[in-house]
A and B are shown apart, each in its own frame.
Chain A
Amino acid sequence: MSRLACLFVPLFPLAARLRSEPELAGEAVAVFHGNGSAARVVAASRRARQAGIRAGMSPSQARAVLPKLTARGRDAICERAAQQALLEIAESFSPRIEDSGEGVVYLEIAGLERHFPGSTPEQELGHALATAADKAGLTAWVGVAGSKLAARVAAEQPGSPTLVTEGGEAEFLAPLPLERLSPEIEVLATLQRWGVHSLGELARLPANEVSSRLGIAGQQLHQQARGLDPRPLVPYQPPPVFEEGLELDWPLVSLEPLLFVARTAIDRLCRRMTARGLACSRLGLSLRLDPGAWIERLLRLPAPTVQARTLLTLLRLELEREPPGAPLTAFRLRGFPDRPRSAQLSLFGPAALSPDRLATTLARLFTVLGPGRIGSPRPADAHRPEALSLVEFEPPAPPRETSEAPRGRGLMAVRALRPPLPVEVVSSTGEAAGQPSELLEVLPVSSAQTERRPRIGGRVQVASGPWLLEEEWWSRRPVERDYWDVELAGGGLYRLYRDRRSGDWFVDGIYD
């Protein structure tokens, strides 16, 4: 016989809110469902309940009872994230879990007793589940039984965890009223006409008689009343992304308050990914603008990381680079998981970098330098010397043993100038495309250009060329250049070219 544990979060809308806004803990808080005067209290904190706040009250009634009440609306984003967190807690204990929504998760716990070798393994498991939920910011109660209904009812009892002994489910459920099974109205009316008012009375009826009179619905109710599950556990499929977010009570217009609330969301996101042995490779950002449009952004990370500070800095840079342009009323963060990088280190080979530290460093560099400024260089599929491509830096594992350093080739290197430096060229023959005899500096248009431009000019001692380069002749912007290697009177060696289409000269490299 299977054994199930039910992880149940009482007052789930409130618990999800308090998880996202932990500073409200201990306050008189009520969560309302609905809009305006039609809103009704669905959950209230202990302090609010002690002051007289009850479920079903309208906002004006609640304010009349407790003027200092902190009111919050139901937040679908918060509740979804809290439910995900609850599922991940359950998944860290058992591979077979079922998502029943609204703060309820079932776990198949048969076989887990080996992890709790004490005299009361189910009791210890229940305490461990509640502790794990508490660490995730959710107060959960636990019930253990042989069927889902019995486990759920047990979880609702005070003094968690509550255990129902094997085979004792029917007896445990017997005092409950029929309404606990949520039967159809016609079936309930029929049973009440028969004088059946509790689950115990229903369980005592002959199964085949109930089935023949009430059909499949009656058969399933009878099974549940006897402590049997009419349908097995439905395995939970984890979503491909991790999501956290918050609906804001008032629109935010500046960046700092948004980052303040986003920080806790990112912390939770990183904790959830760490618990599953995953890291964030991309961060999706959804912002709801006042009055209602959503904008979506995607932040790509150079390497997977779970460093909350790095992700927060990325978020800050992204929002500073392109502000939303309107007040924000909600935000949602989606972490796309990836496997953290790992590597087998060698005792005798070159020291390898810690993959985790490397990933964090790359992400921090990314935040400092911006996109397109770090990576592993690769020759581009082009003949122009300045063409390049950057790929993600994923160094291969170092060799197992240190080898002798290879002897250098002593190769002449070219220091590319990006962008190429425009120059005036005087030709010895007087022709525009003739052999250069002197290079003249072109004065920059703005002082900003002067800052980074090297000064190159002078009489040409030796010139070698032209070397013709043609590329992309089929495109709208073909490249046709005459390359020259020149030595100036000062001793410098430069690579310059003449653009055949415009006739302009550029220095695009220094032999160095």
Chain B
Amino acid sequence: MLSSPAIHPPRSVARGAALAALRADPAARLTSGRELTRRRADGAAPEPLATGLEPLDRLLGGGLPRGRLVELVGLHSSGRFAAGMAAIAAATAGGETTALVDLGEGLEPAAAAAAGAVLERLLWVRPRNLKQAALSSEMLLNAGFPLVVLDLGQPPVAGGRGPQAVWLRLARAAASHGAALLVSAPYRASGTAAAAVVLSSRTRPAWSGSGGAPRLLTGFHSQLALDKQRGGGRPPGRALLTVRAQQLIDGRLPGMPARGGRAAGAA
């Protein structure tokens, strides 16, 4: 019995709350680990996977919902790739194994590591077309990956939008395995299969320096708009996403290049 005094006090809040709830239930007579996990699962809805980007999490009600397909739509420099990187960084730093199905092959490993991603927990899949990308994503969802980020890259996407049935299959695979599926696309692709759609549109870049002084790209802002949310009854909302260059976050001096190599500075 779990009420035995031999049980050590829990260390984390989550574990403590789970054990306290079980102790409070006089009918709790657990005979196996499976029973314990089932009771935990029955007790509360699965927590969404936070992306770590406060505006996006706020729009989605806490993060990427598990068992749902969320589509993030935006063109060049809309912060779409940065949002995907943030979701991967938050999930891998929290101990989750994550897959990036990267149709545009746009990942720079050093930049992903700088964004906080634990690369050991990140599986990078580089399909050649949408058909391969969808097939890979479905396999990964069925394998039990808790977060799969499917990035379609920049237009033109090899394979176009793909048939609607593909997206319905992916949504069903995510639902049956309780996984979060983030589809990052330059245009609406998943149609009715998406549980939530967030539109990302660029607003203005931020440059430091003016006049004759050297200019330095310090980040940009983009507008996030919740275009669709199924089931939750949440009204469409907007939020401003700000992403900044690494040297500003790390406290480097303006003018010092973030990229490696024998950078000689502004000429």
The answer to whether A and B assemble together is yes
Residue ranges of A at the interface with B (Cβ–Cβ < 8 Å): 347-354, 357-358, 360-361, 364-365, 368-369, 373-380, 383-386, 388-390, 393-396, 398-399, 401-418, 450-454, 456, 462-471, 483, 485, 487, 490-494, 509-512
- How far, in whole Å, are A470 and B154 apart by their CA atoms in the complex? 29
Q: Are B81 and A406 in contact (CB under 8 A)?
A: no
Q: Report chain B residues within 8 Å CB of A416.
A: 105-108
The residue from A408, A415, A468 contacting B262, defined by CB atoms under 8 A apart: A468
Q: Are A405 and B77 in contact (CB under 8 A)?
A: no
The residue from A413, A469, A509 contacting B263, defined by CB atoms under 8 A apart: A469
Q: Report chain B residues within 8 Å CB of A417.
A: 106
- How far, in whole Å, are A512 and B154 apart by their CA atoms in the complex? 10
Q: List 15 A-B contacts (CB under 8 A).
A: A349-B95, A352-B97, A360-B143, A365-B136, A376-B123, A401-B12, A412-B246, A413-B82, A413-B85, A465-B267, A491-B76, A492-B77, A492-B202, A493-B205, A510-B106
Nearest Cβ on chain B to A331's Cβ, whole angstroms: 29
Nearest Cβ on chain A to B116's Cβ, whole angstroms: 6
How many B residues have CB within 8 A of the partner chain? 100
Q: Are B146 and A408 in contact (CB under 8 A)?
A: no
Q: Are A383 and B109 in contact (CB under 8 A)?
A: no
- How far, in whole Å, are A408 and B114 apart by their CA atoms in the complex? 11
Q: Report chain A residues within 8 Å CB of B28.
A: none
Q: Are B124 and A512 in contact (CB under 8 A)?
A: no
Q: Report chain A residues within 8 Å CB of B52.
A: 405-409
The residue from A389, A395, A493 contacting B217, defined by CB atoms under 8 A apart: A493
Q: Report chain A residues within 8 Å CB of B249.
A: 409-411
Closest chain A residue to B144 by CB distance? A353
Q: Report chain A residues within 8 Å CB of B36.
A: 347
Q: Does B215 contact A (CB under 8 A)?
A: yes
The residue from B63, B93, B121, B207 contacting A396, defined by CB atoms under 8 A apart: B121
Closest chain A residue to B84 by CB distance? A413
The residue from B51, B126, B155, B204 contacting A369, defined by CB atoms under 8 A apart: B126
Nearest Cβ on chain B to A354's Cβ, whole angstroms: 6
Q: Are A369 and B136 in contact (CB under 8 A)?
A: yes
Nearest Cβ on chain A to B50's Cβ, whole angstroms: 4
Q: Are A368 and B135 in contact (CB under 8 A)?
A: yes
Q: Are B53 and A408 in contact (CB under 8 A)?
A: yes
Known A-B contacts A408-B52, A483-B259, A491-B77; the reply to A512 vs B82 at CB < 8 A is yes
Known A-B contacts A368-B136, A398-B96; the reply to A377 vs B146 at CB < 8 A is no
Q: Does B220 contact A (CB under 8 A)?
A: yes
Q: Are B82 and A377 in contact (CB under 8 A)?
A: no
Q: Report chain B residues within 8 Å CB of A510.
A: 76-77, 81, 106, 154
Q: Are A415 and B154 in contact (CB under 8 A)?
A: yes
Q: Does B162 contact A (CB under 8 A)?
A: no
Q: Report chain B residues within 8 Å CB of A464.
A: 207, 214-217, 266
Q: Report chain A residues within 8 Å CB of B260.
A: 383
Nearest Cβ on chain A to B251's Cβ, whole angstroms: 12
Q: Does B229 contact A (CB under 8 A)?
A: no
Known A-B contacts A347-B37, A466-B267; the reply to A512 vs B79 at CB < 8 A is yes
Q: Are B266 and A467 in contact (CB under 8 A)?
A: yes
Q: Are A402 and B12 in contact (CB under 8 A)?
A: yes
Closest chain B residue to A419 by CB distance? B105
Q: Does B58 contact A (CB under 8 A)?
A: no
Q: Are B120 and A396 in contact (CB under 8 A)?
A: yes
Closest chain A residue to B202 by CB distance? A491
> Scoring B residues 241 to 264 as 1 if CB is less than 8 Å from chain A, else 0, what string do you get?
111111001000000010111111
The residue from A352, A411, A450, A485 contacting B82, defined by CB atoms under 8 A apart: A411
Q: Report chain B residues within 8 Å CB of A453.
A: 156
The residue from B119, B219, B220, B262 contacting A377, defined by CB atoms under 8 A apart: B119
